[in-house]
Amino acid sequence: MKRLTIGLIGLGTVGRGVAKLIKSRHSFIQKKFGVDLCIKTVCDLQWDASFVKSLGKVTATKDFNDILNDPGINVVVELIGGHHPALEIIKGALANGKHVVTANKAVISNYGQELFKLAHSSGRSIYFETAVLAGVPVIKTLTEGIAGNRYDGLYGIVNGTCNYILTEMGSNKISFDEAVKLAQAKGYAEADPTLDINGMDSAHKLAVLVQLAMGKFISVKNDIFTEGITHISKEDLLYADEMGLTIKLLAIAKKKNGEIEVRVHPTLISKNHPLASVKGVYNAVWLQADPLGDVLLVGQGAGEMAAASGVFSDLINLGIDNKDADQVWIGNNPDEIEPLKIKSIDKVETEFYIRLMVTDRPGVLSRITGILGKNGISIASVTQKAVSKESAVPLVMLTHTAKEASVRKALLQIKGLKEVAAKPVAIRMERL
């Protein structure tokens, strides 16, 4: 029987969930997989003595170096999140000959190449299933389940908070602010939800997926165009629904002709597409694989046990791993990366939904369409949602495929018209 002696760093929501699973399913895992999972030491700056006591013969510390320097520990589970000191913990564990299991999307997305090289040279493993989609096995699927496939595109609903907010806005006809407060009340959003609603959480997860699916290490800050959902209104969701569409915050990677588009933004998709049915805190990734074809992975993307399940599975997989010493790490070989070039967002071409608040006067529509036409943007449909001589009314347009830079330029000119009462809202559309 293979014994994994674990140092668990971080006793927050996920860390406590992992500890509970290891304790409650210890005998089951021994019998089914022949793996003995044993927590030797836990580390947190503020650990609960009664909880630690409930785990049995476990030592508690506030100094993670006690775990890194313990020769009796062969696996470090890092669950504190963020860049530092998480990066130093992972590097220290690998340097000291210990395997690593982490849920840290920020570290893997920003330092994955460095860490994979270190793991490769030290003959140790890094497992990070929970970094994307919590316990849904997207990492395992990419690296093992459908290994050998090439991926030309991936589309992910990878942030449960945003998906919940958009779902509530559309289903219950509530405002963005109301939906955020509801998400916070239910524990789906942090007190400060900025990293979720501005798209950065999704960008980190997209970087991890692109590393694994397309073999390209990308910079979250410099390479991924990121736009959040704060400008989306309940009216946008209503208008989209009337057109047979819905709005999702999508993490998108598309590969073509030696270039790769990497972007995170609200996206209109058909209500008939499987991703449209992914609601609430559920997450999903849609993979365009060759030769397999389209693959959809769906599951809960947040919550104590959903995330703990992924870490727990990583520990079991590490315990039954029979790979050779030079193959134990997960991820693309850092020395064999596809020479893909990042496609500038300005050159990306999509269809657009545009909502304008305009004064209902003769000639307004012709001036707006004239500006769009001069910028090479063709209109597919135009709908005025109300008629009022007293105040601004919504004007909703769908464009044919247009270049991002052209649309931005046109909207800047349209915003300057005296008949336009508010900043234009533009949402990209994907035909999946």
Q: What is the mean pLDDT of residues 102-120?
A: 93
Question: Do 145 and 259 share a domain, yes or no?
Answer: yes
Of 40, 98, 140, 205, which is the active-site residue? 205
Higher pLDDT, 391 or 319: 319
Question: Do 129 and 145 share a domain, yes or no?
Answer: no
Question: Do 228 and 180 share a domain, yes or no?
Answer: yes
Question: Do 124 and 238 share a domain, yes or no?
Answer: no
Question: Do 81 and 217 share a domain, yes or no?
Answer: no
Distance in angstroms (rounded) separating the CA atoms of residues 281 and 183: 10
Q: What is the CA radius of gyration of the chain?
A: 24
DSSP 129: G
pLDDT greater than 50 at residue 213 = yes
Q: Is residue 273 part of a domain?
A: yes
pLDDT tens profile 350-359: 999 999 999 8
Q: What is the pLDDT of residue 400?
A: 98
Question: Do 253 and 293 share a domain, yes or no?
Answer: yes
Q: What is the mean pLDDT of residues 171-195?
A: 94
pLDDT tens profile 262-278: 999 999 999 999 999 99
Q: What is the pLDDT of residue 339?
A: 80
Q: Is residue 130 part of a domain?
A: yes
Q: What is the pLDDT of residue 333?
A: 57
Structural domain including 45 reads: 2-134+305-327
Q: What is the pLDDT of residue 323?
A: 54
Q: Is residue 337 part of a domain?
A: no
Q: Is residue 332 part of a domain?
A: no
- Provide the whole-model pTM: 0.93
Question: Do 320 and 415 share a domain, yes or no?
Answer: no
Q: What is the pLDDT of residue 388?
A: 60
Q: What is the mean pLDDT of the chain?
A: 93
Quick one: how far is CA 286 from the chain centroid? 13
Question: Do 270 and 122 share a domain, yes or no?
Answer: no
The CATH number of the domain holding residue 271 is 3.30.360.10
- The last residue of one of the domains, among 293, 327, 361, is 327
Q: Is residue 333 part of a domain?
A: no
Is 248 annotated as catalytic?
no
The percentage of the chain sitting over the pLDDT mark of 70, rounded to a whole number, equals 95
pLDDT tens profile 332-342: 555 556 688 99
Q: Which of 130-134, 186-190, 242-246 has the highest mean pLDDT?
A: 242-246
Written as one string, the DSSP assignment of 43-107 is: E-TT--HHHHHHTSS-EEES-THHHHT-TT--EEEE-S-SSTTHHHHHHHHHHTT-EEEE--HHH
Whether 352 contacts 414, CB under 8 Å = no
Q: What is the mean pLDDT of residues 47-59?
A: 94
Question: Do 262 and 120 share a domain, yes or no?
Answer: no
Question: Do 118 and 12 share a domain, yes or no?
Answer: yes
The CATH number of the domain holding residue 24 is 3.40.50.720
End-to-end CA distance of the chain: 47
The CATH number of the domain holding residue 400 is 3.30.70.260
Q: What is the mean pLDDT of residues 191-214?
A: 95
Question: Do 354 and 373 share a domain, yes or no?
Answer: yes
Nearest to 428 by CA among 289, 232, 241: 232
pLDDT tens profile 292-334: 999 999 998 877 788 899 999 999 999 987 554 444 456 555 5
3-state DSSP call for residue 416?
A: coil
Kindly list the strands in the beta sheet with 99-102, ordered across the sheet, starting from the edge strand earlier in the chain.
Answer: 59-61, 35-43, 2-9, 75-78, 99-102, 126-127
Q: How confident is the model at residue 100 (pLDDT cuts 50, 70, 90)?
A: very high
Question: Do 365 and 321 share a domain, yes or no?
Answer: no
Domain count, the chain: 3
Least confident of 104-113, 277-286, 377-386, 396-405: 377-386
Q: Is residue 334 part of a domain?
A: no
Q: Is residue 263 part of a domain?
A: yes
Q: What is the pLDDT of residue 145?
A: 86
Q: Is residue 338 part of a domain?
A: no
